[in-house]
Structure 1
Amino acid sequence: MTQHIATDVAIVGAGPVGLFAVFELGMLKLSSVLIDALPEVGGQCTALYPEKPIYDIPAHPAIEAGALITQLEEQIQPFAAPRLLGRQVNGLSGKAGAFTLTTDRGDVIHAKAVLVAAGAGAFGPNRPPLDGLEAYEASGAVQYYVRRREDLRGKRVVIAGGGDSAVDWALALKDIASVSIVHRRARFRAAPESAAQLDEAASSGAIEMVIPYQLHRLAGADGVLSAVEVATLEGEVKSIPADVLLPFFGLSMDLGPIAAWGLQSEKHHVTVDPATCRTSLPGVFAIGDVATYPGKLKLILQGFSEAAMAAHAIFPVVHPDQALHFEYSTSKGVPG
């Protein structure tokens, strides 16, 4: 149903950072609305890896991505921010203090400030260039996201990639599946502790390390995978028995209509002032993975910090004649 909403801040993106922005804005008594192209909140945490453990959220030694979203939803419940889900923002007009946003569903949002928390934008996996890939994707023999860890129990799983996703899933699946991890070099681009755990698991035989190899060919028929063939740069080929291939080569990023707003950008990321998260367009702010500045770390943790800084920088845009007196949440509590 088409909606017309007037609010203080329009948040474009309902991933973990966008959700936490509702809290930080609410603590300053600023109203907000969440807009996201996905049909549910949570961004990549919900859509791609709800059961993936996250280890760098303060006070949570480990928390699954889906559980993190559940906790964030509970935290922002007092602020009752409307949600426009399954919608893409396709228009922005006006100026700071008086923006109008429109969506592809015909919604109209009047906001005094805009906060872009679009994560990776319109994201999709970087697919390996393998013949016959589509048939294996259709059957589920090739998967780019793991929504239910239990679906892979007892399977022969080949993981390809050298980043955090590849290493984290190898560790998460080693106790329920036969796991082989393929990478073109011995060094992994993962958190040091995770890389150390991977080495330990490989030494104990819990994970097979297939190094230095790259994906070469898929063996099977009618979408049923029987083996993954890998090759060295010298052309040496090896066959790994497999039921499922998980290629983790990152996400392709597309800002979509946001790219037409005229924001200063760098390599598909929006450039912001690190002290305020202001973009080059007055009244528009950006936080989370979509934002970039010197020293930026793509961590949910840092996105949470940016949400707090942006909220305080947004306050004078919404209330230009009011002074903001900073108070700790322990002193003032959560507004009722």
Structure 2
Amino acid sequence: MIESAVAAIHQTDVVVIGTGPVGLFSIFECGMLRLKCHAFDSLDQVGGQCAALYPEKPIYDIPAHPTILGAHLAANLELQAAPFDPIYHLKEQVHTVEALDDHGKSWRLTGTQGTVVEAKAIIIAAGVGAFGPNRPPLKNLEEFEKTSIHYFVRMRETYRHKHIVIAGGGDSAVDWALSLSDVAARVSVVHRRDKFRAAPETERQLKQLAADGKIDLVIPYQLAGLTGVDGQLTAVEVESLDGHNKQLRADYLLPFFGLSMNLGPIAEWGLGLTHNHITIDPTTAATNRPGVYAIGDIATYPNKLKLILTGFAEAAQAAHAIRHFLYPDEVVHFEYSTTQGVPKA
């Protein structure tokens, strides 16, 4: 259920901050333990980056799914949480968090649109926080950003029979080069060095496509300029490290230089931070503040793996830890979902 901001104060068991895959799964895990949830997200839809930025990007490391698109994963997780009737407050960040007792069992959270929710516990599943693309330093960049420079791929069909220049050397650049090579007229990958910061297997596939003449590896080069008319690119200028320039035909430029991350108000909540990540107890997902838990990419501890499946496990740990924290004298017999089914909301 999606609810707009109203003057009334909402009451719930748990507030989840962030509705990416890990946040959505935490709603399900809380529901299995009969804990009601409200959830906030600054985006206008649930699903986080998977839904908003990479809806058509295939994901290969979700158990039981050899491959699944980001949008489909988000939709399935939303459907999985639906029986527990979560309330979503979208297009709204949590601005302030106030402790209402000394034990960490009563909190008041106020959103940027005025929504107020009182909860017994908090799960922060905010991913990388507020995010935006790192933009290449090109003087006429803004002229093309609304038309032919895309920082995220939302629909592969946009690029069918087009000439695409992809800039970057990480997973996003390599993954999209592989994917778009099936639909684009030509894909050129611009990178400053021969070695990529991507999974070894996908890098191998990229170089094999180049060897087969199916894509162009423009190495070692970097972006130098843009050419076009009325906001539509016609070419991308690249420059080698020794000053050699050339033009690449381009209908679209996809610069993949990572995301800039900003924790926003979370940084002011008195949580233990390590390099803009929240330090947690890996056995419970508890932060340094009683009643506040963090899961997913925003959480850190020794040997943490930034994988969605790791976040799923942390979501289950947090839900069980919250249940015990709120009701320490209540004995909860652990049951597998196959035996207990899905409790009614």
TM interval, shorter chain, is over 0.9
What is the alpha-carbon distance in structure 2 between the residues aligned to residue 324 and residue 215 of structure 1?
58
Percent identical residues: 58
Structure 1 residue 50: Cα displacement = 0.6
| Displacement of 1:22 | 0.7
RMSD, aligned CA: 1.2
| 2:254 aligns with one of 227, 234, 246 | 246
TM-aligned CA deviation for residue 312 of structure 1: 1.4
The within-5 A match list for 1:73-92 is: 73-92=78-97
Task: Return 195-204 or 63-72, whichever deviates more.
Answer: 195-204
1:211-260: CA deviation from partner (whole Å, max 9, x where unpaired): 11111111223322111111222212222111100001110111111111
1:96-245 pair list within 5 angstroms: 96-138=104-146, 140-177=147-184, 178-245=186-253
| Structure 2 letter corresponding to 1:328 | Y
1:323 Cα deviation from its structure 2 partner = 2.7
Separation in 1, partners of 2:328, 2:137: 53
- The runs of at least 4 aligned residues of structure 1 exceeding 6 Å deviation read none
Count of matched residue positions in the alignment of Structure 1 and Structure 2: 335
After TM superposition, the score normalised by the length of structure 1 is: 0.97
Give distance in 2, aligned partners of 1:57 and 1:202.
29
SS at match of 1:123: strand
2:63 corresponds to 1:63: no
2:332 and 2:196 mapped to 1: Cα distance? 46
Aligned to 1:11: 16
Structure 1 residue 291 and structure 2 residue 299: aligned? Answer: yes
Q: Contact conserved, 1:50 with 1:65, CA < 8 A, in 2?
A: yes
1:287 and 1:79 map into 2 onto residues whose CA distance is 20
| 1:143–1:245 contact (8 Å) kept in structure 2 | yes
Cα distance between partner residues in 2 of 1:47 and 1:227: 28
Matched, 1:334 2:342: yes
Gaps of 5+ in 1: none
Write the deviation string for residues 88-131 of structure 1: whole angstroms up to 9, x where unpaired.
Answer: 11110115111111111111111111000011111000001011
Q: TM-score, normalised by structure 2?
A: 0.94
CA distance in 1, matches of 2:307, 2:215: 27
Q: For 1:276, what is the secondary structure of its paired residue?
A: coil
How many Å separate the matches in 2 of 1:232 and 1:119? 36
Q: Describe the superposition over 1:121-172 as per-residue Cα deviations: whole angstroms up to 9, x where unpaired.
A: 110000010110001102x211101111101111100001111111111111
- Name the residue aligned to 1:325: 333
Of 12, 17, 39, which aligns to 1:34? 39
CA distance in 2, matches of 1:150, 1:166: 17
Letter in 2 for 1:6: Q
SS at match of 1:289: helix
Query: Which residue is 1:267 aligned to?
Result: 275
Letter of the 2:174 counterpart: V
- Aligned amino acid, residue 39 of structure 1: D
Asked whether the equivalents of residues 113 and 317 of structure 1 are also in contact (C-alpha less than 8 Å), the reply is: no
Contact 1:112 1:317 in 2 (8 A): no
Name the amino acid aligned to 2:127. Answer: G
Q: 1:325: Cα distance to partner?
A: 2.3
> How far 1:72 moved relative to its partner?
0.8
Deviations 1:34-60 (A, max 9, x none): 111111101111111111111111111
Gap runs ≥5 in structure 2 = none
Residue 295 of structure 2 aligns with an amino acid whose one-letter code is I
Once structures 1 and 2 are overlaid, which stretch shifts more, 60-69 or 291-300? 291-300
Q: Is the 8 A contact 1:8 1:318 kept in 2?
A: no
Matched AA of 2:173: A
Q: Which residue of 2 aligns with 1:49?
A: 54
